[in-house]
Amino acid sequence: MTRDSNRALLSVEGLGISFGGLKAVHDVSFTVQPGEIVSVIGPNGAGKTTLFNMISGIYQPGLGKVRLAGEDVTGIEPHLLAQRGMSRTFQNLQIFQSMTVLENAVTGYHLAERGPVLADLLGLASSRRRARASDEGARKLLARVGLERAAEREAGNLSYGSLKRLEIARALALNPKILLLDEPAAGCNAVETEEIDLLIAEVAASGVAILLVEHDMKMVMRISSHIVVLDHGEKIAEGEPATVSQNPAVIAAYLGAEEPEAVTC
Ligand SMILES: Nc1ncnc2c1ncn2[C@@H]1O[C@H](COP(=O)(O)OP(=O)(O)OP(=O)(O)O)[C@@H](O)[C@H]1O
């Protein structure tokens, strides 16, 4: 696929941040187009999570810009980004284990608000009304991720793969234009990973852009339309999976890392 920067939904331009003297991310640029699955890969400590945190408003970048649908959204807070169409999931699951699956999905409708998730947990009347209003939508989301029959179960009793899908369901509540997934297959077995693969592909096919950080290289090679490779905070390569996996700089970066087999697929 030819990449047309005019069609970019997300545009990352010269992004950088330092922690003390360490340039954790330095001058990284790339674009994500609607319906694309773009993966950010790199050895441990390459800067993937830090890059994600800058794009999703958790860290304020030291340098560079983030544009969403052409608008400068650099460093704006996550709930404001959610209002503008950017949702994300986290490496460590952010599921409320003692709430039901349905209640967890409902909280997705409040991600664009600053305080009400806490109010929901406290059971305030107005929040209960809002929760009822978003119940129907949440059930549809659960059906989309294959969890409709688990709606009334306590989330803490779900398998790990189901929890990951629940987190994706919640991130889809606000109809994002782009979904950022931080290690969606981490901790999943092969069957669960395949289910997540299919779900991500379905979401992308519906027109949502996907930006992914993932260590499971087989999964990355299978589902990505475009890959961005970081090493020591810098972009060392980008392109289609087949091209990137043959790139000598990419192979060298992984060979220099602790898991030399990581780039093979
Ligand atoms: N809050 C922080 N304060 C200081 N240093 C940090 C901070 N966050 C990350 N770093 C450093 O920045 C570099 C990039 O870290 P980051 O977690 O982004 O890498 P990564 O590619 O996501 O790694 P992994 O694959 O292990 O999750 C590392 O050297 C890390 O130690």
CA of 51 to the centre of ligand 1 (A): 9
Q: What is the CA radius of gyration of the chain?
A: 18
CA of 234 to the centre of ligand 1 (A): 13
Q: Are residues 186 and 230 in the same domain?
A: yes
Query: Does any domain span residue 90?
Result: no
Whether pLDDT at 132 is above 70 = no
**How far apart, in Å, are the Cα atoms of 137 and each of 19, 63, 67, 134, 146?**
41, 39, 29, 5, 14
* Total of domains in the chain: 2
- What separation, in Å, do the N-terminal and C-terminal C-alpha atoms of the chain show? 22
Residue 34 CB partners (closer than 8 Å, separation 6+): 7, 9, 177, 207, 208, 209
CA of 194 to the centre of ligand 1 (A): 28
**How far apart, in Å, are the Cα atoms of 157 and each of 41, 103, 116, 148?**
31, 14, 25, 15
Which residue puts its alpha carbon closest to atom 23 of ligand 1? 45
The pTM for the full model equals: 0.87
113 confidence band (pLDDT: 50, 70, 90) = low
Q: Is 195 helix (H, G, I), strand (E, B) or coil?
A: helix
Q: Are residues 41 and 160 in the same domain?
A: no
Which of 140, 158, 175 is the endpoint of a domain? 175
Whether pLDDT at 139 is above 70 = yes
User: Under a CB-based contact definition with an 8 Å cutoff, are residues 109 and 174 in contact?
Assistant: yes
Query: Does any domain span residue 63?
Result: yes
Q: Are residues 154 and 225 in the same domain?
A: no
- pLDDT, one tens digit per residue, over 24-72 is 999 999 999 999 999 999 999 999 999 999 999 999 999 999 999 999 9
Q: Which residue has the tokens 């404001």?
A: 80
pLDDT above 70: percentage of residues in the chain: 86
Q: Are residues 202 and 141 in the same domain?
A: no
Q: Are residues 80 and 161 in the same domain?
A: no
What is the edge-to-edge ordering of all strands in the sheet holding 37-41?
A: 86-88, 178-182, 209-213, 37-41, 226-231, 234-239
128 confidence band (pLDDT: 50, 70, 90) = low
Which residue puts its alpha carbon closest to atom 12 of ligand 1? 24
Which of 119, 147, 175 is the endpoint of a domain? 175
Q: Are residues 153 and 200 in the same domain?
A: no
Q: Are residues 249 and 146 in the same domain?
A: no
Query: Does any domain span residue 136?
Result: yes
Whether pLDDT at 92 is above 90 = no
Whether pLDDT at 147 is above 90 = yes
122 confidence band (pLDDT: 50, 70, 90) = low
Which of 175, 193, 210 is the endpoint of a domain? 175
Query: Does any domain span residue 92?
Result: no
